[in-house]
């Protein structure tokens, strides 16, 4: 019996974008996608806190190189970047409530980092929603619901209680894997667990 896994993400994180493109085909079992506000996690990376423009350019070049290595679309940076993801993450939380987390998150990540669109803007969020057949009026209303905002806050608090410091993160049982390589590390852990269980 496989140990349940959870994938924690924030649509403002290019590292989470790279991870999200690999979750479904890298993990040996299913993972529940959990929207969280990374800015409220204790160790979240600030993408506007580079010491100088050169450091920022090196970081962006590395993300673009990794996207190419993964055979993704050429990376395009939204303007502004970083952007406030609160609206998009409420929409992702609404998508979770209707069982559309994965298609919405994948579409939204691609809007941001392949399309270069700012997810602070509701129109760009709705383009992502339309790509997975979510009605724009329902998404707009859903993102404004207090219950959705509370669910997002609770998911973020739950991540903190699980010792998640930043996204992307994968939780497998009691083990937490963070960073862009978290998917591969979690996959190895899940396979080792499965092999051990079979041996027993």
The number of beta carbons lying within 10 Å of the beta carbon of residue 149 is 16
For the stretch 110-129, pLDDT in tens is 999 999 999 999 999 999 99
Which of 166, 31, 150 has the alpha carbon at shortest distance from 97? 150
Q: What is the DSSP letter of 11?
A: T
For the stretch 30-59, pLDDT in tens is 999 999 999 999 999 889 888 899 999 999
What local confidence, expressed as pLDDT, does residue 86 receive? 98
Sheet arrangement for strand 169-172: 31-35, 5-9, 169-172, 175-178
Selected from 3.40.30.10, 3.90.650.10, 3.90.1170.50, 1.10.1740.10, the CATH number assigned to the domain covering 5-199 reads: 3.40.30.10
Residue-range domain boundaries for the chain: 5-199
Apex 164 CA angle, 173 and 13, nearest 5: 120
Q: What integer best gives the mean pLDDT of the chain?
A: 94
Alpha carbon distance 104, 76 (integer Å): 19
CB 13 within 8 A of CB 35: no
Q: What is the DSSP string of 141-182?
A: HHHH-HHHHHHHHHHHHHHHHTT--SSSEEEETTEEEESTTH
What local confidence, expressed as pLDDT, does residue 69 receive? 95
- Would you give per-residue pLDDT tens digits along the chain (200 residues)? 466 899 999 999 999 999 999 999 999 999 999 999 999 999 998 898 888 999 999 999 999 999 999 999 999 999 999 999 999 999 999 999 999 999 999 999 999 999 999 999 999 999 999 999 999 999 999 999 999 999 999 999 999 999 999 999 999 999 999 998 899 999 999 998 766 655 45
What local confidence, expressed as pLDDT, does residue 64 receive? 96
Alpha carbon distance 80, 97 (integer Å): 29
């Amino acid at each position: 019996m496989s140990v349940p896994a959870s994938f924690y993400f924030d649509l403002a994180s290019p590292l989470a974008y790279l991870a999200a493109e690999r979750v479904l085909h890298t993990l040996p079992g299913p993972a529940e996608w959990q929207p969280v506000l990374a800015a409220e996690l204790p160790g979240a990376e600030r993408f506007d806190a580079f010491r100088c423009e050169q450091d920022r350019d090196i970081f962006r070049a590395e993300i673009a190189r990794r996207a190419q290595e993964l055979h993704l679309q050429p990376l395009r940076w939204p303007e502004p970047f970083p952007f406030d993801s609160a609206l998009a993450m409420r929409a992702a939380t609404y998508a979770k409530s209707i069982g559309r987390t994965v298609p919405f998150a994948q579409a939204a990540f691609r809007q941001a980092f392949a399309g270069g669109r700012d997810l602070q803007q509701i129109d760009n969020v709705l383009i992502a929603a339309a790509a997975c057949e979510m009605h724009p009026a329902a998404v707009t209303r859903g993102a404004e619901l207090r219950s959705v905002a509370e669910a997002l806050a609770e998911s973020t608090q739950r991540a903190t209680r699980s010792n998640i410091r930043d996204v992307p993160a994968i939780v497998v049982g009691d083990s937490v894997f963070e960073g862009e390589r978290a998917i591969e590390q979690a996959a190895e852990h899940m396979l080792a667990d499965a092999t051990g269980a079979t041996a027993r």
